[in-house]
Amino acid sequence: MKSTGNFRMVPGVLRLLWTAFLATFAAQALAADAVLPCPPQLRTAVHFWIRVYTQIDTNEGFLHDPNHLGVVYATVRFAPDSPPSQRQRIVDRERDRIAAQLRSIAAGVRPLTPEERRLRALWGPHPSPAQLREAAGEIRFQLGQSNRFKAGLIRSGAWRHAIARALAAHGLPPQLAALPLVESAYNPRAYSKDGAAGLWQFMPGTAERFLHIDAALDQRFDPFSATVAAAQLLSYNYRILGTWPLAITAYNQGVAGMLRAVHAEGTRDLGVIVRRYHTAMFGFASRNFYASFLAALYVDQHAQRYFGPLRRLPEEHFQELTLPGYVSVAAIERAADVGVARLRELNPGLRPPVWDGELDVPQGYRLRLPAGGVRWTVATLRARLGAQAILAAQLRPPVYRVQPGDTLSGIAARYHIDMWALARFNGMPVDGMLRIGQSLRLPGAPPPPVQAVAQVAPESAAPGTLYRVRPGDTLTGIAARYGISPATLAARNGIGLNTLLQVGEPLRLAAPTSGTSAALAAIYRVRSGDTLSGIAARYGISLRALAERNGIRINALLQVGESLHLPGHAPSAAVLAADVTARPAPLTPPVDDPQPVSARQAKALGPMLGPEADPAPSVDPANYQVAANDTIRVAPAESLGYYAQWLGVSAMDLRRLNHLAFHQPVWIGERIRLDFHFVTPQQFTARRLAYHQALEQSYFARYRIDGTRKYVTRSGDSLWTLTRRFSDLPAWLLRQYNPHTDFFTLHPGTALVIPRIVPAAAAG
């Protein structure tokens, strides 16, 4: 078929005919796909999203009916770079105009204007007045995406091969590589208003099952790690739901939501579900998610027909090695001779505190360095860095940036911190409101170690030797390097301890302590919130001795990053002071490609490609709703005591209601009748969900899922023995991966899926 790179130049009538021809061709091609079929009920929706992705850009949009996507009333156009408020006024004015015309047609006003005849014709030959009145109140606006989609196609080249390998390794259809076009336009820095992040738009709660997220690292922004996690999640969805249309919709709606839809309609046919199933949770975004994916897939496969020749970015190549300790970005930049901008491109999972110099790159992190040149190994990096740059732990409290939906209790549970201690540490009330993007310091870590990962002796200097100040040098850093005190070095050169050094300035070096380095002091780097008395108490040092050792007053105001000598500590710790201020100034992301760190910044980046998709709230397939007869099915980790607490009644009341003897247990899967005198079923369900979310959050703060394994049950196996056999795997997680298995009638030979659990500290 001939390329149409100048598609937008085709006159109006020809353009409509060409669009209709492509839509027919696309419908035939998609309908023939056995793995990812297009149900007949979704073909009009697929055509609509193809138009959104190829015909109109982000300075245009469709006003359309949300339930009949073939009904597009008008195309609204905006001035480039016009503010959102101005755009909203234009949309509202045009929507009101069309609504008034639809109501006029419904009222039977005659004669109809040409515009009114056009609007009526969109609804077929004989639309009813009730249908038109209802349509007048439901007009929806959809922003165009052609420029974003084209940019996403170009960006996709950098990762499409790695994504293909990950999908193949998990036995998944290669077509799923089109999903990031819908989720993020292949932007690894994408951050939604709801807190979803990265190429695959993971929500924090879902991501923590498969990825590492903490103050220094968020693997949602790492395209390679996030792709493996997305493959695991999609595989999980398919295993539970049985079809790819349902599994892909569950990526947006959640497994539990799709199971409810399947049970409510009695079918796994997504076309039937989309047509019949309407609830508050299964709205426009969920109904259109699979259709928008099919549209993205088709345009991706036939990009030249819509955009002309495209040159996709080349595949990203790099070297990887595991860091043997905590290392600053500045030290890596110097050792590898790589600019910080390039390091940031290769390591997008590292969070702003690392790039700003507030935290070091964590131990165990899989550092990426440019391909070519030096063949990097851990030994090579050690040699280039020097042992003084490789630390055993972060030297300051970790910092957590508040995400949408966070609570103080939830953050405390995630990091195993007492909630009241967390509040006190940050000078806020325990019931204080959190702001999205707010930084919280996390207490509870042991005192920073005064021991480096590798030992190195201080350099020696003959008396009278001159040292030329280099970029990043500080007085304390030079003193530590040569085994002398900052006070001695300052006195030798007639300068103050806080003097700002100039690059190239000569300093006279005093000789190290004669005979041995045993008198050398350990070095401590000042952290946010530190006081001299607090540091002295932490290390069991006299406050006066600490002040005198560093030539400062007892009540001196300390500067973050300043180095203090700790008298009486091991000499090897002096290396911790080396190049303490050699870190770069806080790095500002490029203006044209910001890395959003809050919902506010995400909103400023503009709308997503897809149908305003709401990320799946949970991977848990369990149905926690109350049945119509006021009963629930007992889930793992629940008890009568919890039910009583959530209902505001006593456990004995529930025992009497359910004819249970004293101390008689309730069993997982058993039906229990509830007493709703004091709370509504909705309030009970909300409390029950919050409990399970906190349970999962606490567990995935310590562990994450690293794939699955198959297991065939043997004689004697039960839910309890299985959770003991597989590293104390919790029953609720085992049931999540096997929701259709009745563990109380378990027979030998039953095939189970067992999630592989690894410590969350494996930063990867």
CATH number at residue 497: 3.10.350.10
| Residue 253 resides in a domain | no
Which token pair is 34? 């056995």
From 135-144, 164-173, 697-706, the region with the lowest mean pLDDT: 697-706
Whether residues 385 and 418 fall in one domain: no
Residues making up the chain, counted from first to last: 764
Whether residues 569 and 674 fall in one domain: no
- DSSP state for residue 38 in the 8-state scheme: -
The answer to whether residue 569 scores a pLDDT higher than 50 is: no
**Domain boundary residue among 389, 415, 450?**
389
Residues with catalytic annotation?
A: 183
Domain span holding position 428:
399-441
pLDDT digits (tens, 9 = 90+) for 305-314: 999 999 999 9
**Domain boundary residue among 363, 389, 415?**
389
| Residue 728 resides in a domain | yes
pLDDT digits (tens, 9 = 90+) for 654-689: 999 999 998 888 888 899 999 999 999 999 998 998
Which token pair is 567? 């008298």
Instruction: Calculate the CA dihedral of residues 276, 618, 671, 637 and round it to 10 degrees.
Output: 180
In angstroms, the CA 274 to CA 709 distance is 34
Half-sphere exposure of 84 (CA within 13 A, CB side): 6
Is it true that the peptide bond before 111 is cis, omega within 30 degrees of 0?
A: yes
- The angle subtended at Cα 486 by Cα 481 and Cα 489, nearest 5°, is 85
From 345-349, 364-368, 556-560, 593-597, the region with the lowest mean pLDDT: 593-597
**CA distances for 191 relative to 183, 195, 285, angstroms:** 10, 6, 18
Residue 711: per-residue pLDDT? 94
Other beta carbons less than 10 A from residue 513's beta carbon: 15
**Domain boundary residue among 577, 593, 618?**
577
CB 539 within 8 Å of CB 529? no
pLDDT band at 266 (very low <50, low <70, confident <90, very high): very high
Angle between helices 146-156 and 43-54 (to 10 degrees): 90
Residue with tokens 């004015």: 93
pLDDT mean over 389-398:
78
Residue 588: per-residue pLDDT? 29
In angstroms, the CA 454 to CA 462 distance is 25
The answer to whether residue 699 scores a pLDDT higher than 80 is: yes
Which token pair is 471? 């970029």
From 316-325, 334-343, 388-397, the region with the lowest mean pLDDT: 388-397
Helices then strands, counting H and E runs in the chain, come out as 31, 15
In angstroms, the CA 578 to CA 473 distance is 9
CB 566 within 8 Å of CB 526? no
Whether residues 372 and 433 fall in one domain: no
Whether residues 411 and 475 fall in one domain: no
In angstroms, the CA 736 to CA 256 distance is 10
For the chain, how many structural domains are there in total? 4
| Residue 584 resides in a domain | no
Whether residues 650 and 721 fall in one domain: yes
pLDDT digits (tens, 9 = 90+) for 278-297: 888 899 999 999 999 999 99
In angstroms, the CA 722 to CA 713 distance is 9
In sequence order, what E strands does 214-335 have? 318-322
In angstroms, the CA 205 to CA 224 distance is 19
CB 596 within 8 Å of CB 184? no
Angle between helices 681-700 and 640-647 (to 10 degrees): 130
Whether residues 670 and 560 fall in one domain: no
Whether residues 432 and 472 fall in one domain: no
In angstroms, the CA 173 to CA 325 distance is 39
In angstroms, the CA 285 to CA 268 distance is 19
Whether residues 369 and 436 fall in one domain: no
| Residue 155 resides in a domain | no
pTM, 2 dp:
0.71
Whether residues 640 and 672 fall in one domain: yes
Whether residues 436 and 365 fall in one domain: no
Residue 410: per-residue pLDDT? 78
| Residue 681 resides in a domain | yes
In angstroms, the CA 60 to CA 607 distance is 13
Burial of 503: CB neighbours in 10 Å, binned 0-12, 13-18, 19+:
exposed
pLDDT band at 27 (very low <50, low <70, confident <90, very high): low
| Residue 42 resides in a domain | no
Whether residues 435 and 512 fall in one domain: no
pLDDT band at 762 (very low <50, low <70, confident <90, very high): low
Nearest to 44, CA basis, from 32, 30, 33? 30
The answer to whether residue 519 scores a pLDDT higher than 80 is: no
Mean pLDDT, rounded, of the chain:
80
Residue with tokens 């027919």: 24
In sequence order, what E strands does 181-253 have? none
| Residue 742 resides in a domain | yes
pLDDT mean over 175-189:
94
Whether residues 413 and 522 fall in one domain: no
| Residue 119 resides in a domain | no
CB 369 within 8 Å of CB 346? yes
Q: Which of 108-117, 511-520, 613-622 ranks highest by mean pLDDT?
A: 108-117
